[in-house]
Amino acid sequence: MATDKQTKIRTKTQGGVTDVLVLVSHPMETGQRPDPKDKDKKVPAHYIQKMTFSLNGKEVAATDLGPAVSKDPLIGIKLKGAKPGDKIKVAWSDNKGESASEEATIS
């Protein structure tokens, strides 16, 4: 059923600073967890490695994530000088080569 990965963005501007929050549905497997079905095996690692934020097409922030980040991570940045109507784009890619991006308008 509907298990496709979701990326959700929420923005809030206060006093010239915009909070951009990103919620991604992602398993973030470390590769260290034993497989519940077969104890000799481990669940293969699957985590987000790179996440970039761009404002109106120009990259403003990039982060390197790793296996230490929790499942379904919530990641936020603070932006200065973003105007209402500006487009913020978030793109991520993981170690299995999966990637996704999502765009939102700053309100």
Partner 1 sequence: MKKIFLFMIVLGVFAATSPAAIADPATDLKNFQVFFKKKFPTVPFDEYSNGLYALPGFEVYKEQWTMYNEFPPFELGLAIGKKIWETPFKNGKTYASCFKNGGKNIAQGYPYWDETTQKVHTAEMDLNACLKKNGEPEFTDLDKNEAVRVRLAELTAYFYSLSQGQRVKLDVSSPGAVKAYEEGKKFWWQRRGQLHFACANCHMDLAGKNFGGNQPLSAALGHTTAWPAQRLEWGRLETIHQRYKTCNSQVRAKPFKHGSEVYNNLQFYETYMSSGLPLTAPAMRN
Q: Is 78 in the site for partner 1 (CB under 8 A)?
A: no
Closest listed residue to residue 73, CA positions, set 84, 61, 64: 64
Q: Which residue among 33, 71, 83, 96 contacts partner 1 (CB under 8 A)?
A: 71
Q: Is 72 in the site for partner 1 (CB under 8 A)?
A: yes
Q: Is 6 in the site for partner 1 (CB under 8 A)?
A: yes
Binding pattern to partner 1, positions 17-46, x when CB under 8 A? Answer: ----x-x-x---------------------
User: How does DSSP classify residue 46?
Assistant: B
* Rounded alpha-carbon distances, angstroms, from residue 40 to 29, 36, 46, 95: 17, 10, 18, 23
